[in-house]
Structure 1
Amino acid sequence: MSRFDALFKAAKAARDNAHAPYSGFRVGAALLTEGGHIVAGCNVENAAYPEGTCAEAGAIAAMVCAGETRILEALVVADAALCTPCGGCRQKLKEFADGGVKVHIADLQGLRRTFTLEELLPFGFEFQERD
């Protein structure tokens, strides 16, 4: 199975478990980590909008919980033609990935388009160490 296929399978399975009782719009995300693992997350809506969690944020939390801190590739899947990460999730991805990291956008049938993180967030915030 290719890396893309493994990411797609994990993201689609996560999407199936999404908690979206308000919008009905389920999203799944999967990340390939530097350690070679695939972690996934789904969106979780909450009646106290906007306190829900995006799929990308859930996948990042699972990655960090597993002791990983670098993203090598990402995939987001939804029942839409082009469901790219929201602005907040673009910055969240940037915290753990280089600008050249591929972010695949898929619908339920497969790949729609691939962007680099830099294309999605050209002027994101940069972390700077304090003296």
Structure 2
Amino acid sequence: MSHDLFLAAKTAMAKAYAPYSKFPVGAALRTADGKIYSGANIEVASYPEGWCAETTALGHYIMGGGGKITEIAVVAERMPRVTPCGGCRQRLAEFAQADTRLHLCDETGVVQTVTMGEMLPYGFAGDMLK
């Protein structure tokens, strides 16, 4: 089931705009109803401003109606088993659950699967801010 999610992330990575870092990344999210939302990193001249792949995928997810995220895949062209950056871990945790599977990929497929809780064990939660 995760291979199609990996392929969506890899396809997104091919559309990355990374002229400054030369580090294309793709991400894809699957919701409980089977929808897949993907995104690529998009850099701007005021580097390191821009969008991470996970942020772009979350934007598509929100605009597409959201839902329960069941799986996430992340792939980078030049890094095996890439993980989301710290900011993206928090962004993903905002919409995913601690037990949501996160597939860390290389250019051929899933290398390791962890949970969001393992990736961000002490993240902020919205109920902390009330």
**Same topology, TM > 0.5:** yes
Aligned to 1:81: 80
CA contact (8 A) 1:34 1:68 kept: no
Aligned residues: 128
Aligned to 1:121: 120
Aligned to 2:32: 34
* Length-normalised TM-score, structure 1: 0.93
How much is the aligned-residue C-alpha RMSD, in angstroms?
A: 1.2
CA contact (8 A) 2:99 2:116 kept: yes
Deviation at 1:52, TM superposition (A): 0.9
Where relative contact order (Cα < 8 A, 6+ residues apart) is larger, the structure is 2
Amino acid in structure 2 at the alignment position of 1:78: A
Aligned to 1:95: 94
Of 69-78 and 99-108, deviating more is 69-78
Deviation at 1:36, TM superposition (A): 1.6
Q: Percent identity?
A: 47
Taking the aligned partners of 1:69 and 1:93, their CA distance within structure 2 comes to 13
Q: How does 1:7-86 map to 2 (within 5 A)?
A: 7-79=5-77, 80-86=79-85
Query: Unaligned stretches of 5+ in structure 2?
Result: none
Taking the aligned partners of 1:35 and 1:58, their CA distance within structure 2 comes to 20
Deviations 1:65-90 (A, max 9, x none): 00114311000011212210001000
Deviations 1:48-101 (A, max 9, x none): 122210000000000000011431100001121221000100011111111011
Query: Unaligned stretches of 5+ in structure 1?
Result: none
Q: Displaced runs of 4+ in structure 1, greater than 3 A? A: none
Deviation at 1:109, TM superposition (A): 1.2
Partner SS state of residue 110, structure 2: strand
Taking the aligned partners of 1:11 and 1:27, their CA distance within structure 2 comes to 8
Partner SS state of residue 45, structure 2: coil
